[in-house]
Amino acid sequence: MTCVWIGDGEGCTKEAVKGRQYCEEHLWLVYQKGSANGKRKKDIQRANNIWDIESAFNEAVEELIAEGFDLT
């Protein structure tokens, strides 16, 4: 299998590292340390947004119960 690197439009014809899709030269460009931080930040932000919504919902339910609304 050959390397699937497309870079700046030019392909790579070198042999891919066994078990990977990229050659030795391009493998570590693709899997750089810290390259997944952007996705991780999005996941954390999404989780925080969901927790905020959940907290607001729970506050609304508690308020309704305090006002005597029957939730059953």
Residues 26 and 44 in one domain: no
Per-residue b or e along 34-71, where b marks 16 or more CB atoms closer than 10 Å to that residue's CB: eeeeeeeeeeeeeeeeeeeeeeeeeeeeeeeeeeeeee
Encode the chain (72 residues) as per-residue pLDDT tens digits.
899 988 777 788 899 999 989 998 888 888 776 666 566 777 888 899 999 999 999 999 999 999 999 877
Q: 46 and 13 in one domain?
A: no
State the residue range of the domain holding 54. 35-72
Domain count, the chain: 2
